[in-house]
Chain A
Amino acid sequence: EAEAEVHDEL
């Protein structure tokens, strides 16, 4: 289950 990657962009 690909964990939703953290959004590191503004």
Chain B
Amino acid sequence: MNIFRLAGDMTHLMSILVLLLKIYATKSCSGISLKTQELYALVFLTRYLDLFTDFISVYNTVMKLVFIGSSLAIVWCMRMHRTVKRSYDGQLDTFRHYFLVAACFLSALIVHEKFTFQEIFWAFSIYLEAVAILPQLVLLQRSGNVDNLTGQYVFFLGAYRALYILNWIYRYFTEQHFSRWIACISGLVQTALYADFFYYYFISWKNNSKLQLPA
């Protein structure tokens, strides 16, 4: 474990806490893409298949349970909770995310570390996480003004993978045979997808104005 990875995990946790705060405090999920939440639940479920077979550390296991539990709770809440689901922007959240799932699964069948059930699903989860934010970014562009908590949620979600890139650079220089090309390249693509969001988020922070994504 290094400071970059710990910071990355804490930033990721922060993004989830901000999202939970928004939904529970405002009893609303307006501006949140249910499809992105479903993709993230799938990412965690397919990435942590080794939850009960490989014990790394208490921290690792606890964080995996937190990520799986919170993502499923958010999907459940947006689908089933009487008050929350009424505020879901279903007519704006129309990204065809099943194509993302299919494309990522096909890619995982072609590019993976080892042709085993667990490794293919791990690669699938890495590719899917890289594109999982797309429905959310599309929804933000369509829904015009973005409320603070939603903006912070997306910001922390993007920042965590950028910190992971620093972690991979650090591990590359400090560990002999460290090679995580699948995660590294996918992480670069994932962070690049946030580039324009980060730009508008910075502008809104600098001018102390409402976050506006151009349509």
Q: Which residues of B contact A (CB under 8 A)?
A: 5, 9, 12, 47, 50, 54, 56, 60, 63-64, 67, 113-114, 116, 118-119, 122, 164, 167, 180, 183
Closest approach, in angstroms, between the C-beta of A5 and any C-beta of chain B? Answer: 8
Given A4-B113, A4-B116, 5 other A-B contacts at CB below 8 A? Answer: A6-B50, A7-B50, A7-B122, A9-B164, A9-B180
Alpha-carbon distance between A9 and B50 when the two chains are bound, in angstroms: 12
Alpha-carbon distance between A8 and B54 when the two chains are bound, in angstroms: 9
Alpha-carbon distance between A6 and B119 when the two chains are bound, in angstroms: 10
Q: Which residues of A contact B (CB under 8 A)?
A: 4, 6-10
Alpha-carbon distance between A8 and B180 when the two chains are bound, in angstroms: 11
Docked-complex contact B5 and A9, CB < 8 angstroms: yes
Docked-complex contact B63 and A10, CB < 8 angstroms: yes
Docked-complex contact B60 and A4, CB < 8 angstroms: no
Alpha-carbon distance between A8 and B119 when the two chains are bound, in angstroms: 13
Main secondary structure of the interface of B (DSSP, over half): helix
Q: Which residues of A contact B56 (CB under 8 A)?
A: 6, 8
Q: Which residues of A contact B164 (CB under 8 A)?
A: 9
Q: Which residues of B contact A10 (CB under 8 A)?
A: 9, 12, 60, 63-64, 67
Name the residue of chain A whose CB is nearest to the CB of B5: A9
Q: Which residues of B contact A6 (CB under 8 A)?
A: 50, 54, 56
Alpha-carbon distance between A9 and B63 when the two chains are bound, in angstroms: 10
Alpha-carbon distance between A4 and B183 when the two chains are bound, in angstroms: 14
Q: Which residues of A contact B167 (CB under 8 A)?
A: 9
Closest approach, in angstroms, between the C-beta of B67 and any C-beta of chain A? Answer: 7
Name the residue of chain A whose CB is nearest to the CB of B126: A7
Q: Which residues of A contact B63 (CB under 8 A)?
A: 10
Query: Which residue from B9, B64, B67, B114 sits with its C-beta under 8 Å from A4?
Result: B114
21 contacts between A and B (CB under 8 A): A4-B113, A4-B114, A4-B116, A4-B118, A4-B119, A6-B50, A6-B54, A6-B56, A7-B50, A7-B54, A7-B122, A8-B56, A8-B60, A9-B5, A9-B164, A9-B167, A9-B180, A9-B183, A10-B60, A10-B64, A10-B67
